[in-house]
């Protein structure tokens, strides 16, 4: 992200704005980068092919995507197979129901 003149760093402004949005929404603070991981995890849990997730994330090699998210696929598969709902908090930082 390119910063505008006199505005400071673009990433600093993004972080500040994101933190404000989280606070205003009553959500716990997370890093903006955490949204990337959450998106990939949710896509994998919805059955999106790993190669599609690789392309969306911009990974050069599928091995990178598989190495980071392979555990997510096996965990969601295990939850579906046993019929019990996930008990963990959402990875995106929202409040549990």
CB atoms within 10 A of CB 74: 10
Give pLDDT, residue 45.
Answer: 93
Name the more confident of 44 and 80. 44
Q: Which sign, positive or negative, has the C-alpha torsion 37, 43, 46, 52?
A: negative
Question: Distance between CA 50 and CA 53 in Å, rounded?
Answer: 5
Q: CA of 61: how far to CAs of 50, 55, 68, 86, in Å?
A: 11, 9, 12, 30
Question: Distance between CA 58 and CA 89 in Å, rounded?
Answer: 27
pLDDT of 22-75, one tens digit each?
999 999 999 988 999 999 999 999 999 999 999 999 999 999 999 988 766 555
pTM for this entry: 0.58
């Amino acid at each position: 992200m390119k910063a505008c003149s006199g505005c400071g760093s673009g990433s600093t402004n993004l972080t500040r704005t994101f933190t404000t949005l989280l606070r205003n929404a009553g959500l716990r603070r997370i890093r903006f980068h955490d949204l990337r991981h959450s998106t990939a995890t949710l896509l994998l849990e919805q059955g999106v092919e790993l190669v599609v997730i690789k392309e969306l994330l911009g990974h050069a090699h599928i091995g990178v995507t598989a190495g980071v998210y392979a555990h997510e696929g096996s965990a969601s598969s295990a939850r579906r197979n046993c019929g019990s709902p996930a008990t963990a908090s959402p990875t995106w930082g929202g409040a549990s129901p």
